[in-house]
Structure 1
Amino acid sequence: MTASPKNIHANLIDIDAKGVLIKGEAGSGKTTLMLHLYRRCLSAGVPVHIISDDQTLLEEQNGQLMGRVPPTLAGKIEIRGLGIVDREQTLSHSKIELCVTLDREEIMLRYWDSQLEIIGNFEVKKLCLSSANIEAAGNAVLAALNLPLSV
């Protein structure tokens, strides 16, 4: 990664001190999955923070891949059908541990096949998931983070 942050089209949520980058085309369900994970973790008492919606700044810090919210989007989230709403911003950055790519396809892998996403100089565990079943996608994310599915 270069010294200056790279702005990418993705959401970032911090679950139990692990950053989950959620990528996908516009309308693929990135925010829906992020909010689903947020509600599940919040209700189970798992520490969770929405970092950024729609855009995430990526940069290397102390040998780690970090994601953070662009200052102009801090405390904002766009909810389809409602628009941009204000929200509490409790954490502004996270170390990226997992990269999720959402697709509208109905087919989702039954087993994780050790895929890695190369982001700059970093290898990050990658999941390719279908947005057709947000509950199943949420289960896959939680399992990849070694969290119980009861979350």
Structure 2
Amino acid sequence: MNTTPANIHGTAISVDGIGLLFLGPSGSGKSSLAFDCLAEARLGHQPGALIADDRVFILPDRNRVIARCPDAIRGLIELRYSGIVSVDHVTEAEIHFAVLPVPSNEVERLPPNDEQAEIAPGVRLPAIRVPLWSRFPLSLIFARIQSLRENG
């Protein structure tokens, strides 16, 4: 395993064993969308935990991608305009999908087929686009994962 992690800007969570890495520029809604997914998981009695918010260490490991949290921010997530809160967390977890928040002014309704996101140099994951206004973002993500698995 490569021992030098890539330090990227993003938010990573794990829900029911599925690792999700939320990507986008500062202020794009990554943390809020990830928090909404964790809240939805909790309401649905699914295990969910924060891996890291704002900074994520990415370590490619054979055919897997591992996300870790810097020690200084472990268990903390920033909820814009509300503050920084402590949530259930894990030290590291495998990441399976990149989640791309979609702003309300996006004009393309359908994503490209087999869209991939480069999360670190040479490291790509299947991408899932999620509208920021989605009422049930985790359900949308899981529906898209199911579709990708059935068609891939």
Q: Give me the whole-angstrom Cα distance separating, in 2, the residues matched to 1:106 and 1:135.
A: 17
Give the letter for the 2:35 counterpart: L
Corresponding residue of 1:48: 48
What do the CA deviations read for 1:102-128 (whole angstroms, capped 9, x no partner)? Answer: 242433634662211234444311123
Secondary structure of the structure 1 residue equivalent to 2:36:
helix
What do the CA deviations read for 1:19-71 (whole angstroms, capped 9, x no partner)? Answer: 10001111111111111111111111222111111111101234411111111
Structure 1: gaps (5+ residues): none
Secondary structure of the structure 2 residue equivalent to 1:55:
strand
The answer to whether the 8 Å contact 2:37/2:137 transfers is no
Secondary structure of the structure 1 residue equivalent to 2:126:
strand
Corresponding residue of 2:82: 82
Residue 48 and residue 7 in structure 1: after superposition, are their counterparts in 2 closer, same or farther (change >3 A)?
A: same
The answer to whether the 8 Å contact 2:41/2:138 transfers is no
Give the letter for the 2:84 counterpart: I
Count of residue pairs brought into register by the alignment: 145
Secondary structure of the structure 2 residue equivalent to 1:81:
coil
Secondary structure of the structure 1 residue equivalent to 2:146:
coil
Corresponding residue of 1:94: 93
Structure 2: gaps (5+ residues): 148-152
The answer to whether the 8 Å contact 1:20/1:96 transfers is yes
Corresponding residue of 1:130: 131
Give the letter for the 2:128 counterpart: L
Q: Give me the whole-angstrom Cα distance separating, in 2, the residues matched to 1:103 and 1:78.
A: 19
What's the TM-score once normalised by structure 1's chain length? 0.81
Q: Give me the whole-angstrom Cα distance separating, in 2, the residues matched to 1:48 and 1:145.
A: 17
Corresponding residue of 2:8: 8
Give the letter for the 2:19 counterpart: G
RMSD: 2.4
What's the TM-score once normalised by structure 2's chain length? 0.81
